[in-house]
Amino acid sequence: MQLKLIFLTLAYLFFGHHHIKCQDDLSDFLLADPDDANKLTADYISPLAKGFGYAANNAWYNTARPHSMGFDLTVTVSAVSIPTKAHFIQFIKSEYKDLELLSPSDNMVPTVFGPENIRPKYLVPSTGETFEGPSGNSLEDEFGFDAVLFPMLQLGIGVIPNTDLKVRFMPSLKFDEDVEVKMWGVGILHLLNNYFPSGDELLVDISLFGGFTHIDTEVQVSETYPGEDQLGVQKLNAWSLEALISYDLSVFTFYGGVGYNEILSDLEVLGTYDIGNEILTDPIGVSSTYNGFKATMGLRIKLAVFTLHADYTFNEYNLVTAGFGININ
């Protein structure tokens, strides 16, 4: 049962035909107490949920000025830098009901982005059972850089004066007949200049932006353990609220923003699993929330109706974004 696919589906999509190792198996967590299994799973996937959440909250804008009644169609790619501290998480025995870590001795166990050569070994004291947890999938070893790539296609439309509606959408996509991913998002950009005295004389554009992105992933789970209706489901919701500013100078637009992120990741492993001494039903359900402030600065070049832009976003996980678009005011 390659449960790790639940968390690597999007990475598989965004890395194209690159091979992501899936031989390590989160199903062994099912041998732990259910509360402990949930915590092990949440800690293991946390960096991936954060990475895609921060990326989903990014690449919404390249100016603070809305269209008059025009539109833009923009393609972007964001590279989410995975910090070294996200490669491991500390095992603290007091946080578990019935679990001990036998190795490694430093109590630092790999996350999904940790090294591939470390598999932690656990003991369940009440039963005497031992099991190994999964190793990581080192992005640097696999792809040569420690970052997750996140592409996006987005449409922005001037719907009413001083306001843009932004829409991002990906229809349901299936891979290897076992994995299905779909995504949608919506955002609103509203110009604030008119709310200031002599706002039409300001040299800069000032706006408020709010955006929401939802990603659904479903994985048909292979049958390491006998059972029925075995399915992995991950739902990720990402919100952002930002104050934006931009300044136009000929074909150049300098833009920036400061704001707040919130990410909610829900993961469920559904179905029945016969692990030998009992049958588990819907054994894993993990909800995690991440939040924090963000700041972006960037540059756009507009030549006729074509735009090129790049920006850098400061988050818990920093991002670099580049994009190309067609923009008609």
What are the tens digits of pLDDT across the range 118-156?
999 999 999 999 998 888 877 777 666 788 888 889 999
Tell me how far the alpha carbon of residue 230 is from its chain's centroid: 24
By mean pLDDT, which of 55-69, 115-129, 221-235, 292-306 is the weakest? 221-235
* Dihedral sign computed on CA atoms, order 9, 15, 16, 20: negative
Has residue 1 got a pLDDT over 50? no
Beta-bridge partners for 167: 155, 186
Q: Where are the domains of the chain?
A: 4-328
> Which of the listed ranges 158-167, 171-180, 224-233 does the model predict with the highest average pLDDT?
158-167
Q: What pLDDT score does 135 carry? A: 85
Question: What is the pLDDT, as a whole number, of residue 176?
Answer: 60
Per-residue pLDDT band at 200 (split at 50, 70, 90): confident
Residues 254 and 56: their CA atoms lie apart, in Å, by 22
Q: Residue range 85-91: average pLDDT? A: 94
Nearest to 312 by CA among 295, 324, 293: 295
E strands within the chain?
A: 71-81, 88-90, 100-103, 108-110, 121-124, 129-132, 147-160, 163-175, 179-191, 205-220, 231-249, 252-270, 272-274, 279-281, 284-303, 306-314, 319-328
Q: Which of 44-48, 104-108, 170-174, 188-192 has the lowest mean pLDDT?
A: 170-174
Most confident of 24-38, 106-120, 247-261: 247-261
pLDDT tens per residue, range 93-102: 999 999 999 9
Cβ neighbours of residue 226 closer than 8 Å, sequence gap 6 or more: 273, 274
Q: How far is CA 46 from CA 30, 43, 110, 195, 211, in A?
A: 18, 5, 11, 41, 22
Q: Between the CA of residue 279 and those of 29, 31, 108, what are the distances in Å?
A: 14, 11, 31
Rounded CA-CA distance 105/102 in Å is 7
- Structure tokens given for 136: 């990581």
The per-type count for the chain, helices as H runs and strands as E runs, is 3, 17
- 180 vs 156, higher pLDDT: 156
Round to whole Å and give the CA distance between 183 and 130. 39
Whole-prediction pTM? 0.87
The 10s digit of each residue's pLDDT in 16-52 is 333 343 333 567 788 899 999 999 989 998 988 898 8
Q: Determine the Cα–Cα distance for residues 213 and 187; give it in Å rounded to an integer.
A: 9
Q: Is 328 a residue whose pLDDT tops 60?
A: yes
Residue type, 292: G
Higher pLDDT, 189 or 113: 189
Confidence of residue 10 (pLDDT cuts 50, 70, 90): very low
| pLDDT-above-90 percentage for the chain | 59
Q: Provide the pLDDT for residue 307.
A: 98
- Domain spanning 4-328, CATH architecture: Beta Barrel (2.40)
